[in-house]
Amino acid sequence: MTTFTRGFRGRRRGEDDRLPPGQYLTEDFPVLSAGPTPHVPLDRWEFTIDTEAGQTHRWTWPELTALPYEEPAVDIHCVTSWSKLGTTWRGVSLDVLFEDVESTADYALVHSYGGYTTNLPLDDLLDGKAWIAYRYEGEDLTPSHGGPARLLVPHLYFWKSAKWVRGIRLLTEDWPGFWETAGYHNYGDPWREQRYADD
């Protein structure tokens, strides 16, 4: 039996049909973190895509930021129940990075500086659905929000948008990541409210 606390509303704002079920609007941008914030010097930063055949594609910071970029404006949904609408980013579409990657793999395991991992089907990274983002609201992405660069895959819960992204490993079999092995849903679609493994 739940006890309601009279007069308590919490910080969330009103309703909006852009809100997935069980989500609340937030105006600020909460910082979530499962560990110490890595600080990666740009001259040592790199991003890699490793294929199932053992090929590695590699980009340095100047190489990444010289690629054509997009400026998506997207709604983001954190599994801890906050959503933030109309966030604007600058980043390189994964379609650009995958242009020369030969692969028949179905699965991607994203890994980060600091050791974080998250998994998703490769299809969810392609066709304009995901970016390696390095600017947020017109500013360089700060380390607390995943800078220098993070994955941005806004159609899934935000834990899939790995901060401090370092690379993507392509796999023929699915390999659950950090939260996916600890009770969270393997796919994480906010519109189907796929929060926990049993949902």
Q: Which is nearer to another protein, 30 or 62 (CB)?
A: 30
Shortest approach of another protein to residue 1 CB, angstroms? 9
- Residue 115 main-chain phi, psi, to 5 deg: 100, -5
From CA 51, how far away is CA 5, in angstroms rounded? 53
Q: Which is nearer to another protein, 106 or 193 (CB)?
A: 193
Q: Which is nearer to another protein, 31 or 73 (CB)?
A: 31
Shortest approach of another protein to residue 150 CB, angstroms? 15
CA geometry: angle at 75 spanning 160 and 146, to 5°? 45
Give the Å distances, CA to CA, from 40 to 33, 144, 166.
Answer: 16, 12, 10
Shortest approach of another protein to residue 87 CB, angstroms? 19
Q: Which is nearer to another protein, 166 or 195 (CB)?
A: 195
In the numeric block, the tokens 């994480």 are attached to 188
Shortest approach of another protein to residue 29 CB, angstroms? 12
Q: Which of 53, 171, 175 is nearest to 102 (CA)?
A: 53
Shortest approach of another protein to residue 131 CB, angstroms? 22
Q: Which is nearer to another protein, 36 or 54 (CB)?
A: 36
Q: What is the residue type of 192?
A: R
- According to DSSP, the β-strands at 107-112 and 117-121 are antiparallel
CA geometry: angle at 115 spanning 129 and 45, to 5°? 70
Q: Tokens in use for 64?
A: 């990444």
Residues in contact with another protein by CB under 8 A are: 2-12, 24, 30-37, 79-80, 115, 143-144, 159, 179, 181-184, 195-198
